[in-house]
Structure 1
Amino acid sequence: MGGTEHLTVRREGATLVLTLDRPEARNALSLPMLVGLHDGWLEADADDTVRSIVLTGAGGSFCSGMDLKALAGDGMRGQAHHDRLKDDPDLHWKAMLRHHRPRKPVIAAVEGHCVAGGTEILQGTDIRVAGESATFGLFEVRRGLFPIGGSTVRLPRQIPRTHALEMLLTGRPYSAREAADIGLIGHVVPDGTALGKALEIAELINACGPLAVEAVKASVYECAEMTETEGLAAELARGRPIFATADAKEGARAFAEKRPPDFQRA
């Protein structure tokens, strides 16, 4: 199992839990963190026993975005793992889910700060849970910067455009309740319980047919920008083969026999 000095990886049953682990800097992005994230997504994709992924942060914060002190100085050069970035100049975008979409569902468990790059990574996740004191926002314009992690494209597709533009153009913070009201997150829970709620959701996903889950996720994203006619055709093309799988037959048998299904990913 992978991980780096700023990213820990552990298993909770069929769920891979990735934890941003740089609490002294509110989990500001570092090169070791990005390398760990990149490798974590690939590990989950490659391991068929992983059925879901939970992304969270250590020390009461999710992610405070780019390390501005490093940016003001020498960037990320000199940090460990710089050879990985040299070998794959796109690694950081894959790590932040800008240029990579894991085939397994990704659930974000947010406590504390989830701002700037944190809110950008959040937009690459599928299901989002936050503690009631969590803070969201895209602060880049306040620093004279651009939210280049995908927010000007993704945010208006995920929440109403007027809310997306307000978040992007004012750079102001949003409470968890406000983020839920505009549709950025799905659940607001008591502080300290976001991870537990995310793992509960992951368990519900893990109990479902893995081939069906992955096909449903792929279909949602694949069809998002299609016309309705195109999307319905694409849905049939992706969904029909699922009915011919052994897992589909097992699901029907288990229902008839009033027992939990034993899916074999076949």
Structure 2
Amino acid sequence: MPGTEHLTVDRVGATLVLTLNRPEARNALSLPMLAGLHDGWLAADADDDIRSVVLTGAGGCFCSGMDLKALAGRGTRDEAARARFKADPDLHWKAMLRHHRPRKPVIAAVEGPCVAGGTEILQGTDIRVAGRGATFGLFEVRRGLFPIGGSTVRLPRQIPRTHALEMLLTGRPYTADEAGRIGLVGHVVPDGTALDKALEIAELVNGNAPLAVEAVKACVLDAEGLSERDGLALELERGRPVLGTADAREGARAFAEKRPAVYRRA
């Protein structure tokens, strides 16, 4: 099972749980953390027994963004991580889901701060749960910086444009309730229960046919930016092969026989 000093990996049934584990620094992104994230995404996609991924943070915090000192290679004894980033300068973007899209559904379980780079990683996830005390925000403009983790492109596609621009241009913090109202997160739950809710959702996903789940996710992502005509054509291209699978036949039989379906990724 992959993992590093700042990223822990666990299995809960068919769900891989990736935990940002640097609570003393509010889970600020470090080289070992990013290397672990990258490995976690690849491990999930390579293992057909894993049907979903949950991303969360330790110590009541999701992620406070980049640790610039750590990302420069200082403050870590992990020479292997340094070497990996030198060998692949794009590795941090893959880890942050800017240049990599896992084929398995990714569910975020957010407690506490989820700001700057944390909010940027969040936009690469598919389903999002937040504890009521969670906070969100893109603070880069307040510091003369630019949110190059994907937010100027993704955020206006995920929430209404006026809310995206307000978040990007004011750099102000958002409560979980406000993030829920604008659609940045889908569920706001009592503090301390975000992971439980995320695992509950993951279990629902895991009970469905994996080929269908992965094809639906891929189609939604690939249709972004397409015209309706082209998007509908893509839907047929992605959907028709799924309808001809043994799993599709099993789903119909299970429904008729009033029993749980047994999907075999076939």
Cα distance, 1:144 vs structure 2: 1.4
Partner of 2:196: 196
Superposition RMSD in Å:
1.0
Deviations 1:175-216 (A, max 9, x none): 000001111000000000000000000000000000000000
- Cα deviation code 1:66-88 (max 9, x no counterpart): 115x17xx823463210010111
Aligned equivalents of 2:47, 2:94: Cα separation in 1: 18
| Count of residues in Structure 1 that have an aligned counterpart in Structure 2 | 263
Corresponding letter in the other structure for 2:55 = L
> Could you give the per-residue CA deviations for residues 83-113 of structure 1, whole angstroms, max 9, x where no partner exists?
0101111000000000000000000000000
Question: What is the alpha-carbon distance in structure 2 between the residues aligned to residue 138 and residue 178 of structure 1?
Answer: 14
TM-score normalised to structure 2 length: 0.97
Secondary structure at the aligned position of 1:251 is classed as: helix
Cα distance in 2 for residues equivalent to 1:237 and 1:162: 34
Is 1:182 the counterpart of 2:179? The answer is: no
> In the alignment, what sits opposite 1:108?
108
| Structure 1 equivalent of residue 228 of structure 2 | 228
Amino acid of the residue matched to residue 87 of structure 1?
Answer: A
In the other structure, the counterpart of 1:214 is 214
Q: Compare 47-56 and 75-84 and name the one that shifted more.
A: 75-84
Counterpart for residue 45 of structure 2: 45
Q: State the Cα deviation string for residues 131-178 of structure 1 (Å, max 9, x = none).
A: 000000001111111111000111111111111111111111000000
Question: Does residue 145 of the first structure (1) align with residue 145 of the second (2)?
Answer: yes
Q: How does 1:162-177 map to 2 (within 5 A)?
A: 162-177=162-177
CA distance, structure 1, for counterparts of residue 111 and residue 230 of structure 2: 39
Equivalent residue letter for 1:164: A
Cα distance in structure 2, aligned partners of 1:223 and 1:153? 15
Deviation per CA, 1:218-260: give whole Å up to 9, x if none.
0001111110010001100100001111101111111111110
Matches within 5 A, 1:102-141: 102-141=102-141
TM-score (norm 1): 0.97
Deviation of the 1:120 alpha carbon: 0.1
Q: Quick one: distance in 2 between partners of 1:90 and 1:67?
A: 17
Tell which deviates more after alignment, 209-218 or 154-163.
Answer: 154-163
Moved more, 184-193 or 59-68: 59-68
Partner Cα separation in structure 2 for residue 121 and residue 86 of structure 1: 22
Matching residue of 1:32 = 32
State the SS of the aligned residue for 1:129. Answer: strand
Identity in percent: 79
**Given residue 9 of structure 1, which amino acid in structure 2 is its aligned partner?**
V
Secondary structure of 1:29's counterpart equals coil
Distance 1:113 1:101 in 2: 24
Note the C-alpha offset of 1:28. 0.3
**SS in structure 1 of the partner of residue 9 of structure 2:** strand
Distance, in Å, in 1 between the alignment partners of 2:222 and 2:123 is 16
Distance 2:108 2:73 in 1: 25
Runs of 4+ in 1 over 4 A off after TM superposition: none
Unpaired segments ≥5 residues, structure 1 = none
Aligned residue number for residue 264 of structure 1:
264
Partners of 1:186 and 1:212 lie apart in 2 by 22
Aligned to 1:2: 2
**Correspondence for 1:247:** 247
